[in-house]
């Protein structure tokens, strides 16, 4: 049975269980397949949440997902999908049309349909790595931090705490505590989208997207920069309170120790 027929069989099975019309049952299955990674237990999709409001995040990750994982999740490897897409004349179609065809005709879950589409467009020269379907350039990165999502949000939203790990002017435009924020970076030419998700009382994940970049070179620079800054953020937040307090006092601690030694010498 082909994946397209398998998907139609799933639609009819849901109709029998729920009493929904074919259109309603199909829509529910498509919405389920398009949920963010981590919500679909039928397929092993990447666990990193996509940044807020960005539906094209596989553009930055398609090269990092192994062909074995693509095959396990979709039933075919990339080259097999590319051959099918070429036969369908996909190079003449839009990103949305390709992704929809993969989902509707072949039952490919939403995130994986996006990933295969991006890989195909890159392989056929329709876009370069880091370029979104709208032609703009962006990059994403994420980090798991062993603190509550509230503390993680404060590290972005509070200027004083942000200065401990981030060098550069970040101007917040909108923020929804403790889940997301949108900000201008430096001179406002580019934009930052941050999504935060809690994984318990003492673990959370930050997913960051840097959008409106000028091209592949700036994509690579931005990715390296934000990877290093999120590593610094993790180190800052996970440091013990005593360690952070001593670091902030800095030379004051050493000066105090020197003064104490001087007092001892005078007493002697």
Is 2 part of any domain? no
Query: Is the pLDDT confidence value at 8 over 60?
Result: yes
Query: Please, which pLDDT band fits residue 102 given cuts at 50, 70 and 90?
Result: very high
Q: Is residue 175 part of a domain?
A: yes
Q: How do 180-185 and 137-145 pair as beta strands?
A: unpaired
Please give the distance of CA 84 from its chain centroid, rounded to a whole number. 28
The whole-angstrom separation of Cα 251 and Cα 188 is: 36
110 and 142 fall within a common domain? no
Question: For residue 60, is it within any domain?
Answer: yes
- Would 19 be classed as within a structural domain? no
27 located within any domain: no
With 60 as the cut, is the pLDDT of residue 105 above it? yes
Give the number of other CB atoms < 10 A from CB of residue 120: 24
Q: How much is the average pLDDT of 22-33?
A: 65
| pLDDT at residue 31 greater than cutoff 70 | no
Examine the pLDDT at 59 and tell me if it is beyond 70.
no
The answer to whether residue 255 is domain-embedded is no
* Same-domain check for residues 111 and 156: no
Structurally, the chain folds into a number of domains equal to: 2
Q: 178: cis peptide before it, omega within 30°?
A: yes
In this prediction, residue 256 carries a pLDDT of 46
- Is the same domain home to 106 and 166? no
| CB 82 within 8 Å of CB 120 | yes
Q: Return the CATH number at 204.
A: 3.30.530.20
58 in a structural domain: yes
Contacts of 173 (CB under 8 A, 6+ apart): 182, 183, 184
Q: Are residues 117 and 43 in the same domain?
A: yes
pLDDT tens across 135-175, in order? 899 999 999 999 999 999 999 999 999 999 999 999 999 99
pLDDT tier for residue 37 given thresholds of 50, 70 and 90: very low
Same domain for 175 and 148, yes or no, is yes
Same domain, 99 and 152: no
118 lies in the same domain as 179:
no
The label of the residue with tokens 């981030």 reads 166
Same domain, 231 and 154: yes
pLDDT tens for residues 68-78?
Answer: 999 999 999 99
| Domain-located, residue 7 | no
210-254 pLDDT per residue, tens: 999 999 999 999 999 999 999 999 999 999 665 455 555 554 444
pTM of the complete model: 0.62
**Claim to verify: residue 142 and residue 110 sit in the same structural domain:** no
Last residue within a domain, chosen from 71, 94, 123: 123
Of 88, 123, 158, the one marking the end of a domain is 123
Contacts 24+ apart (CB under 8 A), 213-218: 213/130, 213/136, 213/137, 213/138, 213/139, 214/137, 215/137, 216/128, 216/129, 216/130, 216/131, 216/137, 218/137
Enclosing domain of residue 38: 34-123
Cα distance between residue 19 and residue 255, in whole Å? 77
């Amino acid at each position: 049975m082909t994946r397209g027929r398998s998907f139609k069989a799933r639609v009819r099975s849901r109709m029998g269980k729920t009493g929904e019309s074919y259109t309603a049952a199909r829509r529910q299955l498509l919405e389920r397949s398009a949920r963010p990674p981590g919500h679909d237990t039928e397929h092993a999709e990447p666990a990193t949440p996509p940044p807020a409001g960005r539906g094209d995040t596989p553009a930055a990750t398609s090269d990092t997902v192994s062909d074995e994982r693509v095959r396990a999740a979709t039933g075919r490897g990339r080259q097999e999908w590319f051959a099918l897409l070429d036969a369908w004349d996909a190079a003449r179609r839009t990103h949305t049309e390709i992704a929809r065809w993969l989902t509707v005709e072949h039952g490919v879950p939403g995130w994986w349909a996006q990933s295969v589409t991006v890989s195909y467009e890159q392989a056929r020269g329709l876009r370069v790595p880091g370029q979104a379907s709208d032609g703009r350039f962006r990059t994403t990165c994420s980090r798991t931090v062993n603190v509550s999502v509230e503390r993680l949000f404060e590290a972005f939203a509070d200027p004083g705490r942000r200065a401990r790990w981030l060098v550069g002017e970040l101007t917040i435009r909108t923020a929804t505590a403790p889940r997301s924020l949108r900000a201008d970076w430096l001179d406002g030419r580019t934009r930052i989208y941050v999504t935060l998700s809690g994984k318990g009382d003492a673990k959370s994940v930050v997913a960051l997207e840097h959008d409106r970049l000028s091209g592949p070179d700036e994509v690579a620079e931005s990715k390296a920069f934000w990877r290093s800054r999120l590593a610094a953020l993790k180190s800052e937040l996970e440091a013990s309170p005593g360690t952070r307090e001593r670091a902030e006092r800095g030379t004051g601690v050493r000066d105090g120790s020197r003064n104490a030694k001087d007092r001892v010498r005078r007493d002697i």
